[in-house]
Every structure is written in C-alpha cells, then in structure tokens.
Structure 1
Amino acid sequence: MTNPPEKTPENPWGPQNSSPEQPFGQQPVQGQPAADPYGQPQYGQPQQPAADPYGQPQYGQPQQPAADPYGQPQYGQPAAQDPNAMANPYAQQGNGQPGYGQMAYGPTPALTSWIKRVGSHLIDWAPITIINRITDPMIGGYDYASKTERVGTNPTLGFILLVVGFAWFIWNMVFKDGKTGVSLGRQVLGIQLVNADTGQPVGAGKAFLRQIAHILDTISCLIGYLFPLWDSRRQTFADKICNTLVIDTK
C-alpha cells in the first residue's frame, strides 16, 4: 500500500521574499548590515561619537565655553554692553573734550598787576568813604584835634547812611565778590578773585574772611598791600591766608 506524500509544514510567518522591506523575523539581505537599534556601529564602519545628553564635549573635540547664566563675560572675551546701563555723565567724550563736571584746563590766566588791584580797591571803597565823610558831622563825636565833644547835626540821618554804607559793603565785597569773583571795582578793571587751586569764585564766606584778613595788611604798616609787588604769585597777606589769586579777565 502506497504511503501518501508528506506535506511540507506551512511557515507561520508567511513566505519569504527578496523585497527591500524586510518583515519582522526575516534575515537581512547579505552584504547590507542591519541597523543596530541600540546605535552601536557595525564592524568595519567608522565610529561616530555619540552626542552627550549632558552637553559635555567628546575627547578631541574643541570645547566651546558655556554661556554664563549671570551674564558675566568669559575670560578673553569683551564684555557685552548692558543696554540698561546708565551712561557716566562724567566720562570723557569721544572727541577728547572732558564730560560734564570736569574742568577744562586752558591757558593759565595772567596775574593782575598791582596797579589794577589798587584801582579796584579805590572804586569799591569810594562809596563807603564818601558816606563816612557825610555822616561824621551828623552823628558827632569826640574831636581829637580840639579835644572837645562835638554834637551831631542829625544823628538819625547819619545812622541811616551808615547802614546804607554797610549794606553796600556786604552786597558788593562779600556776596557779589564771593559768588562771581568780581566786585564793582574788579568788574570795571576786568579782573577777578578766584581760588588758587580750582580757579573758581571763593564764595561769600571766604570773601568775608578775606576782608577781615586785610587787617593784617593794614597793621603791618601796609606791607601786606605792597607784598604783590615782589611776590611770585602777587598775593597780599590776606590772599595767602585764604589761598586766593587775582587774575586778569580781559
């Protein structure tokens, strides 16, 4: 009795084909390496360094400096300018001129001659001298020449004129002279009183102190007033005490 032919068992995964698309379970075509699902290179292929998920550079690769989260520049790199940074008003400008608040030094002004100083002094004190001459008989007082007591003709008016003379002194030779450096006499002759260090007006306080210091110029037999004739900075004793100079402005 003849045995029936044996049947070949069916492949549960289906027939194999040579299509480029390899279904799961089939062997890859010979000569083409299969892609490694874990990213490992095949034998004989050049190895590419995998990217570090933490951003660290691979060995042999140039290292790029990481950005500083606080905005500080890396060593050797120029600092980036902050757009919110306030410009320095005192910084030097690009054209070489000093910024606001800096003193621009020009040519040194010439020191005033002794003649001009005497002329300005006479102009400033002329109104006070005239008022004193007028009020002297009005107020009265002791006459040293005749050694007698004089009765004033109008003491009230004389006192008012003295107040006017004192107000002139305070306004002209303290406030005006201290704030601008020019009293009326200096303004007429084109000279100015300045601080010897800064070249600026000295202020009312130092101007008043300088007027008091002129007492030394007087009690020294007027030598203090003559001192500018031979002094290298043409200063009186009062100028040396208050550190002031008198310069030409025109």
Structure 2
Amino acid sequence: MSFGDPNPNNPYGQQPGQPPQGQPGYGYPQQAPQGIPPQGQPGYGYPQAPPAQYGMPQPGYGGMPAFAGWWSRVAAMLIDAIVIGVPYGLLIGIGGGVGGGAGTALVLLGALVALGLGLFKLYKEGTTGQFIGKKAVNIRVLREADGQPLGFGIAFVRYIAHFLDSLACYLGWLWPIWDAKKQTFADKICSSVVVKSV
C-alpha cells in the first residue's frame, strides 16, 4: 500500500518518490483551473489566425479574398464621381447663373466642397478601404502585402498615380481586365489590390 493511494488493495498504486496523483510535481506543467484557459501556453491543433481587421482575412491564413472585377470597379468610380460631382456641379451652375459676388462665392464654395469630399474619400479609402462607391458594390482597396488598408498617404499617392492609367489611350484603366491581380498601373506602383469584401 502506498501513501495517498485511494484504493489500499491496488498493487499498482502510487510508487514512492512520485508526486501524489492529481498534483503535478516539479518540472511538470501546471494546469489552469477548470473554465480558465492556460496563460502563455499554446493550444493543441492548428495555429489560430490573428483576428482579421475590417472583415478581411489575413493573407497566409486562407489567402487574400477574390480580386474585384473590372465592372465593379467602374461602378464604384461612377458612384463616387456622382457623390462628389453633383454638389460641385450644382454650386458652380447656380454661382454662374447668379453672377457677381454671390455667384463667385458659390463657385468657390463648390470648389471647396469638391476638395473636401475628395480628401474625405482618400481618408476613408486609406483607413477602411472603401468610400461610398466601393461600399455600394462591396469591394475595397487594400495593401497587397498584408491585406490591410493603405493609409491616407498611399491612398493619396495612388490617386495621383492614376494619371499614368490615363496615358496611352487609358490603357492603365483597362489593364485590370486581363491582369492576374486585376491591378491598374497605379495599383502596381502602390502595391495595392482591389478585392471583394467579405
């Protein structure tokens, strides 16, 4: 019979020099109380992916979402052009019709509204990957390397780089039709991709 053995007739009871059953000895990993996950110890099974931001899975854990089609991108651009262009056009038109100092003020206000909406568009695309147009057609622009939003600076550079898409008969705007990653020239320069939202 061994000390601490609940069954005195058990010939295979606890051997001398071993820790009592149910209690780990020195060098054995400690177990967390029931219902509390162990701290600092990896779990069993496959490694878990870090939580995705903005509803996007991380590359390397299931891959980048599918690339957005060309028509989705065109629709998003048209919606954004309407959102920014209509207030601008109305204020310019009214200002031109009124004339004088009030007309000039309305024209300047129209230009400021367009500039403000344009900067807000870059901010939203830089921080969330979407402005109104992309949100309406369920796509977003992200960094190719890690699937995260571009940031305002890269979103601004991408906007400027679209100038290159307009050269040579707008070839850069058409490039996503046959490109493997469906990128424009601006996307290639800024290492950005336009993907379907999850």
TM-score interval for Structure 1 and Structure 2 normalised by the shorter chain: 0.5 to 0.7
2:88 touches 2:113 (CA, 8 Å); kept in 1? Answer: no
Report the identity percentage: 32
The residue number in structure 2 matching 1:123 is: 79
In 1, Cα distance between equivalents of 2:194 and 2:181: 9
Corresponding residue for residue 239 of structure 1 = 187
Residue of structure 1 in register with 2:124 after alignment: 176
1:211 corresponds to 2:159: yes
Say which of 142, 149, 156 aligns to 1:194: 142
Please show how residues 13-28 of structure 1 align to structure 2 within 5 Å: none
2:74 and 2:51 map into 1 onto residues whose CA distance is 35
SS of residue matched to 1:192? strand
Partner of 2:113: 164
State which structure, 1 or 2, has the greater radius of gyration over its C-alpha atoms: 1
Relative to structure 1, is the Cα distance of residues 100 and 192 closer, same or farther in structure 2, using a 3 angstrom cutoff? closer
**Separation (CA, whole Å) in 2 of partners of 1:101 and 1:184:** 25
For structure 2, the 5+ residue unaligned runs are 1-26, 30-38, 53-57
One-letter amino acid of the counterpart of residue 155, structure 1? T
Equivalence for 1:96: 46
So what's the TM-score if we normalise by structure 1?
A: 0.55
CA distance in 2 between counterparts of 1:151 and 1:224 reads 42
- Paired with 1:247 and 1:100, the residues of 2 have a C-alpha distance of 20
Query: Which amino acid is 1:94 matched to?
Result: Y
Could you say which residue in structure 2 is the equivalent of 1:133? 89
Q: CA deviation at 1:157?
A: 1.3
**Counterpart code for 2:163:** I
5+ unaligned residues in a row in structure 1: which ranges?
1-78, 82-86, 141-149
> Match of 2:140, SS?
strand
Structure number having the greater helix percentage: 2
Q: Which amino acid aligns with 1:98?
A: Q
Deviation at 1:234, TM superposition (A): 0.7
Say how many residue pairs are matched.
159
Deviations 1:106-156 (A, max 9, x none): 24411111000000001111133223433444566xxxxxxxxx9887011
SS at match of 1:194: strand
Shift of residue 229, structure 1, vs aligned partner? 0.8
The C-alpha deviation readout for 1:29-70, integer Å capped at 9, x for no partner, is xxxxxxxxxxxxxxxxxxxxxxxxxxxxxxxxxxxxxxxxxx
Amino acid in structure 2 at the alignment position of 1:123:
I
Mapped contact 2:64–2:147 kept (Cα < 8 A): no
SS of the residue corresponding to residue 154 of structure 1 reads: helix
- How many Å separate the matches in 2 of 1:99 and 1:232? 26
Asked whether the equivalents of residues 137 and 152 of structure 1 are also in contact (C-alpha less than 8 Å), the reply is no
